[in-house]
Amino acid sequence: MNRAIPRLSGGLPLLGHLLELRRDPIGLMQRCRDECGEVGELRLARQPLVMLYGEPAQEAFFRAPDEQLDQAAAYPFMKPVFGPGVVFDATPEQRKQALRNRSLRDQAMRGHAETIARETERMIAGWGDAGSVDLIDFFAELTIYTSSAALIGPEFREELGPQLVPIFKDLERGTDAIAYVNPSLPLPSFRKRDRARAQLVTFLQGIFERREREGRKAQDLFQVLRGIRNPDGSPRYDVNTITGMFISLMFAGHHTTSTTSSWALLELLRHPEWMKRVAEELDALYADGREVSHQALREIPQLESCFKETLRLHPPLILLMRKVAQPFRYGDFDVPVGATVGVSLAVSNRDPAVFREPERFDPTRYAPGREEDQHAFAWIPFGAGRHRCVGAAFAMMQVKAIFSILLRRYEFELAQPPASYRSDHSKMVVQLAQPSRVRYRRRAAEPAP
Amino acid sequence: MRIRADLDLCQGHGACAGEAPEVFSVDERESRVVVLDASPPEALRAKVLAAVKYCPTRALRIVEE
């Protein structure tokens, strides 16, 4: 039996629910669940978006093969950021090839952990005994260095400086959902996006060209990619394409990690009993003088639970989408080719059928015996299935390394009213709204280094 | 014990091969796990449990016979 997909109320004649998506995306996605149930349709300009809710429907979404649900075509707002031939614009075969990139494999992680610890030390070297810092400015800069040093190479990282922070911010703020109407409307945010990308291309190409001219060969991703040849011996990737790949690599690990680090610190400050627990856990673990790069790859249970809870409550991506390339059926519902299907991480992560008291910050939900994150198709801050974030393990290791250093050196306190810290959801890339300042003070009894 | 690998979920990270190289390997071309021994001896249970636990995509399961 076939049933018609329920349509969400509201929406404007031409724009559909687009303005509501830009104003209050989580509210919109929750409203669709409340009104329509497991399957509901809304509209982004002319594009129908069929939302799937609950573990079984989400599992069907995440298990569907690429040939049926296509990730590449679903994110029109990303294309002008990455440029042609990169990630969301790539064929399934190109994507598979990118996954073979070994830098995210297990064996490489130890080296990455050392890199991240070193970069964190460098960032706080000038902090002194006390002061204040804007969380997003701090973590955005730090994660530009860590992701470029670890994923691209240490030599490349040395070329980068704080001038990249506003460039990435403009790229991220250029992900306005109005791109569903047209990704090159003459809007200030799109103009800034395009200018930022052009600046980044010029900057990266300058590095690459200088390197090729001087004939220097570093052991890094640029050299690896330049070394890949077509059957006729010509280089497979030109500098422009590699530039796009680097933007996508750095982009993927940038706003996600910096936003999560910021929210994790804020949630610890809002829940002092957890800050105390985590600080004690870290002091005990590192009491024997072991290296951060060693411990960050191992279990730090209390801290990890706090990160999981931060990701559940503040997922840096709130909506995942696929374009239907072959007919997709779920239950009694047929979704036609050409429609988009979506899963809301923000709604799923607070599903009361899975999470007890879903609005509460409660890291004990991941403790042995409860393990609410074992619901692999409901606890989905990293997505699930084949397209689950390939950087998830890297990201967890990274935040463990950063916090192992920060929380043992410094104590923090909120510098603004607690309610003033909030996420800005007006763009598809979620960011902590600024200002987002905290104060720090060197701990009285700093643990032995 | 028998091992089930869910290939819809596997991304070929290779954490399992690190924990239990006797039982798991990674097909580099396909970026997915190869189960070398689907019914490994009990002596390897601790290693297999670690592989299941540390799989970043939760693609592995143990089914008791």
pLDDT digits 0-9 by tens, A267-287: 999 999 999 999 999 999 999
pLDDT of residue A106: 62
Report the b/e string of A285-305 with b at 16+ CB within 10 A.
bbeeeeebbebbbeebebbbb
Contact B18 A104 (CB under 8 A): no
Q: Between residues A322 and A296, which one has the greater pLDDT?
A: A322
Please state, as a whole number, how many other Cβ atoms lie within 10 Å of the Cβ of residue A128: 10
Contact A388 B57 (CB under 8 A): yes
- A184-198, A259-273, B22-36: range with highest mean pLDDT: A259-273
Instruction: Tell me what the mean pLDDT of segment A314-329 comes to.
Output: 95
Which residue in A63, A100, A106 is closest to B8 by CB distance? A63
Contact A99 B56 (CB under 8 A): no
At residue A248 the predicted structure's pLDDT band, cuts being 50, 70 and 90, is confident
pLDDT of residue A100: 55
| Chain B: residues touching A (Cβ < 8 Å) | 8-9, 11-15, 17-18, 28-29, 31, 56-58
**Tens digits of residue pLDDT in A137-179:** 999 999 999 988 888 888 889 989 998 889 999 999 999 999 8
Q: How near does any CA of chain B get to the CA of A297, in Å?
A: 11
**Tens digits of residue pLDDT in A285-296:** 999 999 998 888
ipTM of the complex: 0.76
Q: Between residues B65 and A317, which one has the greater pLDDT?
A: A317
pLDDT of residue A288: 93
Which residue in B8, B17, B31 is closest to A96 by CB distance? B31
Write phi, then psi, for A404 (nearest 5 degrees).
Answer: -60, -35
Instruction: Tell me what the mean pLDDT of segment A25-51 comes to.
Output: 97
A325's tokens: 């390339």
Give the total number of structural domains in chain A.
Answer: 1
pLDDT of residue B18: 86
pLDDT of residue A301: 94
For the cut 90, the answer to whether the pLDDT of residue A387 exceeds it is: no
For the cut 60, the answer to whether the pLDDT of residue A93 exceeds it is: no
As a whole number of angstroms, the distance between CA A261 and CA A250 comes to 16
Percentage of the residues of chain A whose pLDDT score is greater than 90? 62
Residue of A105, A304, A396 to mutate for B, most B C-beta atoms under 10 A: A105
Nearest chain A residue to B59, by CA: A385
| Strand pairing class (A47-52; A340-344) | parallel
A104 inside 8 A of chain B by CB? yes
The third-level CATH classification (topology) of the domain covering B2-63 is Alpha-Beta Plaits (3.30.70)
Residue at A394 is within a domain:
yes
pLDDT of residue B13: 81
pLDDT of residue A87: 54
Instruction: Tell me what the mean pLDDT of segment A81-94 comes to.
Output: 60
Nearest chain B residue to A64, by CA: B8
What is the residue-averaged pLDDT of chain A? 89
For the cut 60, the answer to whether the pLDDT of residue A102 exceeds it is: no
Residue at A13 is within a domain:
no
Residue at A343 is within a domain:
yes
Q: Residue A104 maps to which CATH number? A: 1.10.630.10
For the cut 80, the answer to whether the pLDDT of residue A342 exceeds it is: yes
Write phi, then psi, for A434 (nearest 5 degrees).
Answer: -100, 155
Q: B18 CB contacts (<8 Å, ≥6 apart)?
A: A106, A107, B54
Percentage of the residues of chain A whose pLDDT score is greater than 70? 94
Nearest chain A residue to B11, by CA: A386
Contact A106 B58 (CB under 8 A): no
pLDDT of residue A445: 67
Contact A386 B28 (CB under 8 A): no
For the cut 80, the answer to whether the pLDDT of residue A219 exceeds it is: no
Residue in this structure with the two tokens 């029109």, named with its chain if needed: A76
Residue at A383 is within a domain:
yes
Q: Which residues of B touch A385 (CB under 8 A)?
A: 8-9, 57
A108 inside 8 A of chain B by CB? no
Q: A27 CB contacts (<8 Å, ≥6 apart)?
A: A20
pLDDT of residue B9: 85
Q: How near does any CA of chain B get to the CA of A181, in Å?
A: 34
pLDDT of residue A329: 97
Q: Which residues of A touch B31 (CB under 8 A)?
A: 96, 99-100
For the cut 60, the answer to whether the pLDDT of residue A81 exceeds it is: yes
Q: How near does any CA of chain A get to the CA of B46, in Å?
A: 17
At residue A372 the predicted structure's pLDDT band, cuts being 50, 70 and 90, is very high
Contact A100 B13 (CB under 8 A): no
For the cut 90, the answer to whether the pLDDT of residue A367 exceeds it is: yes
pLDDT of residue A405: 97
Ordered by start, the domain boundaries in chain B are: 2-63
Do residues A6 and A36 touch, judged by C-beta distance below 8 A?
yes
Q: Between residues A108 and A103, which one has the greater pLDDT?
A: A108
Nearest chain B residue to A298, by CA: B54
pLDDT of residue A89: 47
Instruction: Tell me what the mean pLDDT of segment A438-449 comes to.
Output: 78
Percentage of the residues of chain B whose pLDDT score is greater than 90? 54
Q: Between residues A354 and A100, which one has the greater pLDDT?
A: A354
Residue at A428 is within a domain:
yes
Q: How near does any CA of chain B get to the CA of A105, in Å?
A: 5
**Tens digits of residue pLDDT in A420-433:** 999 999 888 888 99
DSSP-derived 3-state class of residue B31: coil
Q: Which residues of B touch A376 (CB under 8 A)?
A: 9, 58
For the cut 90, the answer to whether the pLDDT of residue A221 exceeds it is: no
Give me the domain span that covers residue A137: 18-77+91-442
Instruction: Tell me what the mean pLDDT of segment A302-314 comes to.
Output: 97
pLDDT of residue B54: 82
